[in-house]
Chains A and B, each alone.
Chain A
Amino acid sequence: MSTDRAESTAKTLVIQPPKGWIGLDIGELWAYRELLFFLIVRDIKVKYKQTFLGIAWAVLQPLTYTIVFSLFFGRLAKIPSEGQPYGLFSFTALILWTYFQTALNFTSTSLVSNNQLISKIYFPRLLLPTGASLAALVDLLITLALLMIILPIYGVPITLRLLWALPFIVLAVLTALGAGMFLSAINVKYRDVQYTMPFLAQLWLFLSPVVYPSSMVPEGLRFLYGLNPMVAVIEGFKWAVLPDMNFPSVPMMTISATIILSLFVGGAYYFRRMEKEFADVV
């Protein structure tokens, strides 16, 4: 204990006006990992407190969407589903999509909903959007469990190949967090963001291959379409989970991965740059 104190005494903290772009300070984030853990636990525990259906809510949304989409898009509009049963096709896409949407929503409001914390205590602010994007994974875990039940019903065997879904889940987390870091920082100053979110999410859903396969998109527009990083993420996820699907084309995958990475890095740096104002403005 005393040595620990001697060590920290030796360290001098310098506070100065921040200038220009600030480094990410990964070391500090690591030092605060326990707080990140507690923030995630808090968000998870609080989410379904005092609800009647509890965690069933996590399942309810993708499930109802699947039913509605199967009825309207599958049955009535006869949208193709690449040889898969339409219900399974859309449910698979929807569980990852639902995670993305929840995480994006949660992340972009994370600073404003924790304004008490921000104005009263110091900690790396990046913990808030990070925690929010990770806490939303619990819902995904639940729906994935449901998927494991549904797959055998449709005669799809559960094999190790499913592990290929993991990298695409990671990409979805990075996309949500990358966009969320931008949006949450902007939302501190302009609450317009949180009013735009539901609309933006709805729009984004129809720009992603959730209710239709990306093969329906005309060849000439594919490149433009691929600029939406969620296209490759969802296509990849469907490829990993469902049998006999085509792997998303390598150029499209490369474009998406590049965009996700730039979104993530850009978001993190933008967030750090705006961070100094949070406590004064929020």
Chain B
Amino acid sequence: MGDTAICIQGLGKRYRLGTVTKAYDTLRDTITEVISRMGKGSAQKSVDKSRYIWALRDLDLSIKQGEVLGIIGRNGAGKSTLLKILSRITSPTKGRVEIKGRVGTLLEVGTGFHPELTGRENIFLNGAILGMTRADIRKKFDEIVAFAEVEKFLDTPIKRYSSGMYVRLAFSVAAHLDPEILIVDEVLAVGDIAFQKKCLGKMGDVASSGRTVLFVSHNIGAITKLCKTALLLDKGSLVISGNTDNVVEQYLKQTEISVAEVSRNVKPESRVGFERIWVTNSKGETSPEIEVNSHFTINILLNVQKKVLNVDISVLIESIRGTKVCFTSLSDLNGGDILPLEPGRRHCKIQIPGRFLIPDTYRLLVEAHVPMVMKEDYCTDLSIAIVDTKATQTYTSDAWQYGCVIGNFKWDMETFSPDSK
């Protein structure tokens, strides 16, 4: 009777690059490929290696029963691949995993929801997909409905639901899943802040009830709050595991590399997405390092694919230590009311003044969202370093200890005389 819930040995997963970048092959591609390979003979084999990528390599890990483990790492570190292997969605290329106990997976909220079906029908369908039995769902049905606050709309097709109701219902079903081992991906990222709080609360309940939880998140605050232990992945390999504080510290060191430009593909189905986000300094050059005294600009190349009335674009500046500094959004342009966006590409520029942020590394969280309801697109990859190149003595290397922003206030000093007011 060992108390190990999950034992991972030498786990590796290799992807073919083609399958990652291309949506799918056509028969013609394969035929031409096979023919060209035949022509070149076996020499091709060595070249082929470069077309593979190890998303996860040689991972050894043992997770105790009741352990709440946070998994962190930058994009492409292999976090999601690990979760997908553990939940049997994809199979490993190498290694072995032993799992004791029923596994519940939550990689996405509302998996399998069908817009044409009613709330009631979707609860049963989604519950069955998540692995609940019909008896289980029936027993928890009232609880699920009450938690989601959708009593009145149970027999309405969910395509008529507001986005908020949809997300609430989806999360509610998932929250009532009762597995021994819970695997959760960044599902919290889909909702607004109130929703995220509700999720975190529920996650906390699950964690404290003695179940084994594996939790992936970019939200370092959530990880430190929920998990006693954590592991850090980078480029598919384990960097460090153990006490959450140590792991987080390591992660922060690693992420202190600034990224001034992010280009991405907008998904064809999304209404609004970011094509490119980049930071320019006061001279207009793209740069991740900004002089503390000069202003800089956050540029967002927005692709509106469908007309939207309720989507706002916002930027949250957060220090690498997790302190939120400030928030600004496109609706500020319009006195707080959201501007309707017509289809087309737009360039948004947000100018941040000099002598505002204290020298430190900051993350820029850019979001296109329906406020308090859902995210259309978001990007958490951008980070900049505010540096003090002139070495003004006020801002030492640990300037962050003095707050987040520079107290740019007017000081006066004059000789005090008892007569003056």
Chain A residues within 8 Å of B, Cβ to Cβ: 5, 8-18, 34-35, 37-39, 41-42, 45-46, 49-50, 116-123, 188-192, 276, 279-282
Contact = CB atoms under 8 A, between A and B. Distances in A.
B167 interface: no
A191 B87 contact: no
B112 A117 contact: yes
17 contacts: A12-B100, A13-B100, A14-B99, A17-B94, A35-B129, A37-B128, A42-B117, A50-B116, A117-B129, A120-B107, A121-B107, A190-B25, A191-B24, A192-B27, A276-B91, A280-B15, A281-B24
A9 B6 CA distance: 12
Nearest to A16: B96
A280 B25 contact: no
B130 interface: yes
A188 B27 CA distance: 12
Interface of B: 15, 19, 24-27, 30, 84-103, 105, 107-108, 111-112, 114, 116-117, 121, 124-125, 128-131, 133-134, 157, 180
A15 B101 contact: no
Contacts of B94: 17
A13 B85 CA distance: 12
Contact of B85 (A15, A121, A192): A15
Contacts of B25: 189-190
B18 to A, nearest CB: 10
Contacts of B85: 15
A42 B157 CA distance: 13
Contacts of B99: 12-15
Contact of A119 (B30, B89, B129): B89
A192 B93 CA distance: 28
A121 B90 contact: no
A123 B131 CA distance: 8
B91 A45 contact: no
A9 B108 contact: no
Contacts of B86: 15
A9 B15 CA distance: 32
Contacts of A14: 96-99
Contacts of B180: 5, 8-9
B100 A9 contact: yes
A38 B124 contact: yes
Contacts of B157: 49
A192 B111 contact: no
Contact of B96 (A15, A37, A116, A119): A15
A279 B26 contact: no
Nearest to A10: B100
B143 to A, nearest CB: 15
Given A191-B24, A281-B24, A120 B111 contact: yes
Given A46-B116, A49-B157, 9 more contacts: A5-B102, A8-B180, A10-B100, A11-B100, A14-B99, A15-B97, A45-B117, A120-B111, A121-B111
A38 B125 contact: yes
